[in-house]
Structure 1
């Protein structure tokens, strides 16, 4: 991966799972990484310590990405330490209800939509001025295959992430002339994550059977796709979606 050394990457929700794997990989590729977290400070510091032990640079910063003031404070901290943010990996996952539509309230569905878009809007607004000034930036949003392929009980998450994916496409169109690429990574079920945790063994077996590569994704599989989108190597892909699901989306 070329040309990433010294770039600053902000990874939201990076204390565990896909976010942590992405933070570690970007640091290994030479980026300075901001490990954002909301509640899991000790876990975030473990990620930072691991990156440091491997020879990389990272810092943990607490912020609720739905809170404009908290995000602004985080950006100020990053600027004070390392200057502007070159790469945003928006991975933080806000809570959501898992239930059929007929049992769902508007607060549960509309609240998830509001949380999802508020967070994406807030962090994007915060990093864009610096990217625009430098004429270079990478915006990467973590979606889900559930935005395209429905699964029982997942209407709140799937609908909210579908909105996020379209938001990213509009940004790609608007920001391309400014030297900023915008892309989405949509994993299928990923082992050892919160979403995978809602699948029972029978469901997991069905998901694996429907996957040509014969297994669920690992967090590292998703991180690899994110790292490509974050790099200098990705000079001409914007407005795209990477389906990291072992071929499941072909069906």
Structure 2
């Protein structure tokens, strides 16, 4: 990663899955990494220990990214130790209902929309002053292929992440003049994640694999590579884009 040494990256929801893989990769490429978590302190500290063992720098910080005060405290802590955050990877998975529209309540659909956008809004707002002052920043949101390729029962997640994608485009427009890029990484089904465990039974998994030109599902490390590309200091002229990490599934 070009010139990454010294940059500070905050990865939300980084105690496992895509977030943990991203934290490890960014640290391996020279960034100091904040491993944010909600409740899995032991897993988060394990990610920090792995990074330290590999010669990197990381700290684990607990915060519910839907809560303004908690996010403010987290950012203040990072700023006190490392003088701010240069890269935001917003990966935290907000809980959602898996159900068809017929069986869904407004609280389930509207609640997911509100929580998804509130979290993105809150953590982005907290970090923008520092990025704007430095006139440099990378913001990467984790979306989903379900925003553009619907699947039964996933209307709450797909709709909320579609809103997040459009939010990212508007931010890209506003923040470009300040030297800040905003992009989205949209995975297809990903092995070894909580989402996959929740929604992929064996039959559906096999159908997804059969429909994927590269012949397998994504792994957390595959998604982390795309995030790291967007976070790279050398990647200065891509903003407002969405990268599909799905082995070619979205071509259909």
TM-score range, shorter chain: over 0.9
Structure 1 CA distance for aligned equivalents of residues 53 and 200 of structure 2: 35
Corresponding residue for 2:101? 101
Q: Secondary structure in 2 aligned to 1:195?
A: helix
Corresponding residue for 1:82? 82
Corresponding residue for 1:111? 111
Q: 1:241 deviation in Å?
A: 0.4
What is the TM-score normalised by the length of structure 1? 0.99
Structure 2 CA distance for aligned equivalents of residues 35 and 101 of structure 1: 35
Corresponding residue for 2:209? 208
Structure 2 CA distance for aligned equivalents of residues 55 and 212 of structure 1: 37
Corresponding residue for 2:50? 50
Structure 2 CA distance for aligned equivalents of residues 151 and 192 of structure 1: 20
Q: 1:55 deviation in Å?
A: 0.3
Q: 1:194 deviation in Å?
A: 1.5
Q: 1:233 deviation in Å?
A: 1.8
Structure 1 CA distance for aligned equivalents of residues 195 and 45 of structure 2: 23
Q: Which runs of 5+ in 2 are unaligned?
A: none
Structure 1 CA distance for aligned equivalents of residues 25 and 248 of structure 2: 23
Q: 1:40 deviation in Å?
A: 0.3
- Correspondences of 1:83-232 after superposition (within 5 Å): 83-197=83-197, 198-232=199-233
Q: 1:108 deviation in Å?
A: 0.3
Structure 1 CA distance for aligned equivalents of residues 92 and 70 of structure 2: 14
Q: Give structure 1 regions of 4+ aligned residues with deviation exceeding 2 angstroms.
A: none
Q: Which runs of 5+ in 1 are unaligned?
A: none
Corresponding residue for 1:69? 69
Corresponding residue for 1:20? 20
Greater mean deviation of Cα atoms: 227-236 or 69-78? 227-236
The superposition leaves residues 230-251 of structure 1 with CA deviations (integer Å, 9 ceiling, x where unpaired) of 0112110000000000000000
What is the TM-score normalised by the length of structure 2? 0.99
Corresponding residue for 2:246? 245
Q: CA RMSD in A?
A: 0.4
- Work out the number of aligned pairs and report it: 251
The superposition leaves residues 197-248 of structure 1 with CA deviations (integer Å, 9 ceiling, x where unpaired) of 1111110010001100000001000000000100112110000000000000
Q: 1:192 deviation in Å?
A: 0.7
